[in-house]
Amino acid sequence: MQTPSGQPVDVTSSTRLVVLVSGAGSNLAALLAAHTDPAYGARVVGVVADRPGIRALELAQEAGIPTAVVSLKDFPDRAVWDEALTEAVAVFSPDLVVLAGFMKLVGAPFLARFGGRMLNAHPALLPSFPGAHGVRDALAYGVKVTGCSLIVVDEGVDSGPIVAQVAVPVEDDDDEASLHERIKVAERALLVDVVGRAAREGLVVEGRRTRFGR
**Identity of the residue, 39 or 133, whose beta carbon is nearer to ligand GAR in the bound complex:** 133
Residue closest to ligand GAR (Cβ) = 101
Which residues bind to ligand GAR, rule: CB under 6 A? 23-28, 56, 100-101, 103, 121-123, 132, 134, 184, 187
Where is 58: in which H helix or E strand? helix 55-62
- Contacts of 29-35 with C-beta under 8 Å, sequence gap 24+, read 29/59, 29/188, 30/188, 30/189, 30/191, 30/192, 31/98, 31/100, 31/191, 31/192, 31/195, 32/59, 32/60, 32/63, 32/65, 33/192, 34/192, 34/195, 34/196
**Identity of the residue, 8 or 127, whose beta carbon is nearer to ligand GAR in the bound complex:** 127
**Identity of the residue, 88 or 119, whose beta carbon is nearer to ligand GAR in the bound complex:** 119
**Shortest Å distance, C-beta 123 to ligand GAR:** 4
Identify whether 133 is a catalytic site residue.
no
**Shortest Å distance, C-beta 8 to ligand GAR:** 31
Positions annotated as catalytic residues are 122
